[in-house]
Amino acid sequence: MSTNSIDSLLHESRRFPPSAEFAANAVAKPELYDAAKADRTNFWAEQARELLHWHKPFTQTLDWSNPPFAKWFADGELNVAYNCLDRHVLAGNGERVAIHWEGEPGDSRSVTYAELTAEVKRAANALAALGIGQGDRVAIYLPVIPEAIVAMLAVARLGAVHSVVFGGFSAESLRSRIDDANAKLVITADGGWRKGKVFPLKPAVDAALSGAATSVTNVLVVKRGENDVEWTEGRDLWWHDALAAADAEHEAQGFEAENPLYILYTSGTTGKPKGILHTSGGYLAQVAFTHKNVFDLHPATDVYWCTADVGWVTGHSYVVYGPLANGATQVMYEGTPDTPHPGRWWELIEKYKVSIFYTAPTAIRSFMKLGREIPDKFDLSSLRVLGSVGEPINPEAWIWYRDAIGGGTAPIVDTWWQTETGAIMISALPGVTSLKPGSAQTPLPGIKIDILGEDGTRVDPPQGGLLVVSEPWPAMLRGIWGDPERFKETYWSRFSTEGDYKYFAGDGAHVDQDGDIVLLGRVDDVMNVSGHRLSTQEIESALVSHPIVAEAAVVGAADETTGQAVVAFVILRSDQEKAQTAEEASTILRAHVAEQIGAIARPRQVFVVSELPKTRSGKIMRRLLQDVAEGREIGDTTTLADSSVMQIISDKLK
């Protein structure tokens, strides 16, 4: 971010206090901050008791005797799926709609809590019949359809562990995730709808499971896309057949609060994605607490919609676990926002009278570009709370969101969190906080955040620094699957001292003159493209795996719509330089990255260069490449081994 824009963010003077009426009816009260301040761990214990059903109540709240490995509510037992389903039915809310699902072609289904519970019971029995039990890993590779939720909850009901892989990831990415977690079962579909077409999923599963022996014994296939699929007898089963054959009754058993719930892979600074591990009790308590208070949820009357794909953490915490634990009614939409027309999202808000809407700044900015006429055609008056997640939201987009979508009155909560934090950590509370555009503002009650300088001391406003979480929190990751050393090294080595553990988030942040937190983006080699995390190194590895490439460097360049975009610089092998034009090489390599990782990682541009800027010790200076990619004047080149390299590169690209 440029110094100019930080400056204007830090001096943002607009304030939007809650109306008296909103504050009077708000779920969150200012006293939450006082209670958490008075006794942080007890505050979380109270939330966990109030918001969840415990098969066996806990007596211990936090065990931090072996940092950075935390245990929350360790002697308690619960069943995550029971908390999301059965108890709502038993409380008399079985007829409440859990999911208003809308397929991209316009087909729709509304599923009540009673129906969802019944389906998950059958699915749990079907999985158990395939040998799935406590601790087993199940990979889920599905479109945004109700079966994705059913599959996740069925796995959770058995005390097993799901690993959801976003349907846009390639066969290669799926395979590496299956292998890393040693998954026994894959749940997929015969396709899903996207941009007016059925995209295949089953062929990617088949490709992923071909070749070397795998841990997978069965593949369950949901019928959705009506695509013809290849069938491996003995391994593949139709989901509907397996459920029809399964018993309808299933009693949920309690599992320890620290029983693993899921693994979710995310990009780090190395080429290999890390399997972030979340467990049950603490995670569910914090997602339920945040979903209720940050979105001002009134479960009997609100209709909530989070547009995230279930393949990302936002889908896990705020499509599946938070809303269902709270007994909310939600909308789930399979397709893209612009299919079959650019007003599709607004049409759905009108159709289902959505009152709480949660999406990413990239989407807001692309709608802004299309103009207000599109949302203006629809009745959006049901909306009363808006949320933003995944990347910084610039004040201009914030104001547009509030005016064009929120009727000029709906509060916006800018929620900062990560795959690793499991749940929202920094956000305003609607009805309590006076809102400020461009700032995530305040750590939630029970969350301790600090901004530190490089030397580990706290910085005072208006200085910038690095964001850390200074106390353990209930939904925190419990580790990286199979790699405790990497867990310690990645998150806890930078600022922790003996007896004082601090989690380093990888984000830069400022505190402004009012004490509000302004997020500035990643400080490591992680890019954020449309709110999705990508690693520069992972894309570089994909590029050099192509036979025409000798060397590659990737940077995240500022992009008006997507926040950042992937820009690659490659040196071709000498025998390849004449074999194709730079343009041909770029086309080949963009496709290659999409095939290796997934379409989300496809570079916006691939530049063929003859040199890369390196220090004397051989380290590529990505910062200088970023200057070129962003069309800026090139920064200090004095540490380069050959300072003329940047001139050659920028001349060539001109």
Judged by the rule CB under 6 A, the positions of this chain that interact with ligand PRX are 266, 313-314, 389-392, 414-419, 440, 505-507, 519, 521-522, 528, 533
Residues 286, 41: Cα–Cα separation, whole Å: 12
CB of 354 to ligand PRX, least distance (A): 20
For the bound state, the minimum distance from the C-beta of residue 266 to ligand PRX, rounded and expressed in Å, comes to 5
Q: Find where tokens 């959006």 sit.
A: 380
Tokens of 578: 């004449």
The least distance separating ligand PRX from the CB of residue 200, rounded to whole angstroms, comes to 25
Which residue number places its CB atom closest to ligand PRX?
419
Nearer CB in complex with ligand PRX: 113/491? 491
Largest CA distance in the chain: 73
- Which of 44/417 has CB closer to ligand PRX? 417
Q: Say how many C-beta atoms besides its own lie within 10 A of residue 285's C-beta.
A: 28
DSSP labels, 226-249: -------TTTEEEHHHHHHHS-S-
Residue 359 Cβ vs ligand PRX, minimum distance, rounded to whole Å: 11
Burial profile 470-498: b = 16 or more Cβ within 10 angstroms, e = fewer: bbbbbbbbbbbbebeebbbebbbebbbee
CB of 235 to ligand PRX, least distance (A): 32
Are 223 and 238 contacting, i.e. CB atoms less than 8 angstroms apart? yes
Q: How far is the CB of 204 from ligand PRX (least distance, A)?
A: 22
* Beta-sheet pairing, 526-529 with 532-535: antiparallel
CB 122 within 8 A of CB 247: yes
Which of residues 367 and 504 has its CB atom nearest to ligand PRX in the complex?
A: 504
Q: Which is nearer to ligand PRX, 162 or 274 (CB)?
A: 274
Which 8-state DSSP code applies to residue 615? B
Cβ 427 to ligand PRX shortest distance, Å: 8
First to last CA, the chain: 24
Nearest distance from C-beta of residue 528 to ligand PRX, angstroms: 5
Helices (H), 113-170: 113-129, 146-157
Look up residue 460 and give its two tokens: 């005072």
Name, in order, each residue with C-beta under 8 angstroms of 221's C-beta and a sequence gap of 6 or more. 188, 189, 190, 202, 229, 236, 237, 238, 239
Q: Which of residues 330 and 439 has its CB atom nearest to ligand PRX in the complex? A: 439
Say how many CA atoms lie within 13 Å of 365 toward its Cβ: 18
Residue nearer to ligand PRX on the CB measure, 355 or 359: 359
What CA–CA distances, in Å, run from 577 to 104, 603, 644? Answer: 44, 20, 21
To ligand PRX, the closest distance from the beta carbon of 341 in angstroms equals 28
Rounded least distance, CB 473 to ligand PRX, Å: 14
* Closest to ligand PRX by CB, 167 or 392: 392
The enclosing H or E element of 348 equals helix 344-352
Smallest distance, ligand PRX to C-beta of residue 454, A: 18
Residue 266 vs 442, nearer CB to ligand PRX: 266
Distance between CA atoms of residues 481 and 137, nearest Å: 11
- Long-range contacts (CB closer than 8 Å, 24 or more residues apart) made by 238-247: 239/126, 239/147, 239/187, 242/126, 242/129, 242/130, 243/119, 243/122, 243/123, 243/126, 245/126, 245/129, 246/122, 246/123, 246/125, 246/126, 246/129, 247/122, 247/125
Nearer to ligand PRX, 125 or 528 (CB): 528
The DSSP secondary-structure symbol of 410 reads -
Question: Exposure of 639 by Cβ count < 10 A (0-12 exposed, 13-18 middle, 19+ buried)?
Answer: middle
Which among 544, 616, 602, 595 is positioned nearest to 573, based on CA atoms? 544
User: Among residues 279 and 564, whose Cβ is nearest to ligand PRX?
Assistant: 564
DSSP line for 352-377: HT--EEEE-HHHHHHHHHH-THHHHT
**Residue with smaller CB distance to ligand PRX, 87 or 522:** 522
Nearest approach, Cβ of 318 to ligand PRX (angstroms)? Answer: 9
Distance of CA 308 to the CA centre of its chain: 8
Given a contact cutoff of 8 angstroms between Cβ atoms, the answer to whether 412 and 480 are in contact is no
CB of 389 to ligand PRX, least distance (A): 5
- How many CB atoms lie under 10 A from the CB of residue 134? 13
296 versus 309: smaller Cβ distance to ligand PRX = 309
What's the min distance (Å) between Cβ of 59 and ligand PRX?
Answer: 32
Q: Which residues pair with 479 in a beta bridge?
A: 277
* Closer residue to ligand PRX, CB minimum distance, 266 or 280: 266
In terms of CB distance, is 217 or 270 closer to ligand PRX?
270
